[in-house]
């Protein structure tokens, strides 16, 4: 599977938190040749099933992204917006965006805004409208927008918006494509609304009732004040983040598999952020939960960056756990 091509296909879809159906459609089309069954639950989580009689394993990668939601239209046509997930004003400013209906705009700041103390309240979306009436012919209150930036191949690295977490959706698809058969009962779940508080993973986990759960997400790379991972280190085996302390059994099993399969890997101790693991581990009577992540720079910006070999290592480790003897 071509990583950049698959990522570009998924990123072309509109998929901020709460409106992920377009992304789900694209992923379903890519997964269907390798799945025994595909369905969506009430929340909109896409559940791809590879049937087996062994232990139930659930891999979860969220398919939603951060985004913008129109909250007010000013007389001069400027669009004020609210946040869908963790927007940073300094990452947003002077960035192109696009709406679901194809309307495009740019993020700009009020003339009187203090650039040293910038907040989202100082920003607006300019779609080129000359008045409120003109703007409301193009968008309406509650419409959502996402970054409108390309995915670029920079040597052996990829820069793109929404690598959090579309790159891990790609990794799940790569593992699904390469699976050679397993007795385990494996569920690849592409979850919704992670950026709004891990809202999709909990109901999906409750419905599947897995014995083992692994959240697949990005982790902070090359930022030693937050975490230890670096781009090029391979798959990051999560020990902890703010949402979860992973089960020691899962950390050990992933470490052993990485060593046995010669998969580049490192441990991931993250002091900020969370993943779907936080919702998975406490479902029902509890789930034996771990995490595998791709180190990523510039998170929640339009130019996030990962290394291709880390994505490949993550996919390989997912496949190895899916096919492992867990009895």
Which of the residues are catalytic? 194
The phi, psi pair for 120, rounded to 5°, reads -65, -25
- Quote the DSSP letter at residue 122: G
Strands (E), 76-229: 79-84, 96-99, 104-109, 123-126, 144-147, 152-154, 157-160, 185-191, 212-220
Strands (E), the chain: 37-40, 46-50, 56-62, 67-73, 79-84, 96-99, 104-109, 123-126, 144-147, 152-154, 157-160, 185-191, 212-220, 235-241, 244-245, 265-269, 288-296, 304-307
Tokens of 201: 């993973």
- Torsion angle of the four alpha carbons 187, 193, 198, 203, in this order, in degrees rounded to the nearest 10: -50
């Amino acid at each position: 599977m071509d990583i950049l091509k698959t990522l570009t296909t998924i990123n072309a879809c509109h998929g901020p938190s709460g409106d992920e159906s377009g992304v789900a459609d694209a992923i379903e089309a890519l997964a269907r040749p390798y799945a025994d069954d595909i369905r969506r639950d009430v929340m909109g989580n896409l559940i791809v099933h590879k049937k087996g009689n062994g232990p139930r394993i659930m891999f979860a990668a969220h398919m939603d992204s951060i985004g913008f939601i129109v909250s007010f239209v000013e007389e001069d046509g400027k669009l004020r917006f609210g946040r869908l997930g963790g927007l940073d004003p300094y990452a947003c400013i002077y960035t192109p965006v696009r709406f679901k209906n194809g309307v495009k705009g740019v993020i700009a700041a009020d003339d009187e805004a203090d650039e040293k103390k910038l907040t989202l309240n100082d920003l607006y979306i300019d779609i080129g409208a000359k008045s409120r009436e003109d703007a409301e012919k193009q968008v309406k209150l509650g419409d959502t927008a996402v970054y409108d930036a390309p995915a670029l191949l920079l040597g052996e690295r990829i820069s793109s918006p929404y690598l959090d977490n579309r790159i891990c959706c790609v990794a799940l698809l790569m593992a699904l494509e390469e699976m050679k058969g397993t007795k385990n009962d494996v569920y690849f779940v592409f979850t919704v609304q992670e950026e709004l508080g891990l809202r999709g993973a909990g109901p999906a986990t409750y419905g599947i009732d897995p014995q083992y759960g692994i959240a697949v997400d990005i982790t902070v790379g090359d930022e030693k004040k937050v975490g230890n991972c670096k781009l090029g280190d391979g798959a990051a085996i999560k020990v902890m983040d703010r949402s979860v302390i992973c089960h020691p059994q899962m950390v050990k099993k992933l470490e052993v598999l990485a060593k046995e399969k010669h998969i580049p890997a490192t441990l991931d101790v993250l002091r900020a952020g969370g993943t779907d693991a936080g919702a998975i581990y406490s479902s029902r009577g509890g789930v034996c939960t771990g995490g595998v992540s791709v180190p990523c720079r510039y998170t929640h910006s339009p130019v996030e960056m990962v290394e291709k070999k880390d994505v490949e290592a993550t996919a390989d480790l997912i496949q190895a756990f899916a096919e492992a003897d867990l009895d």
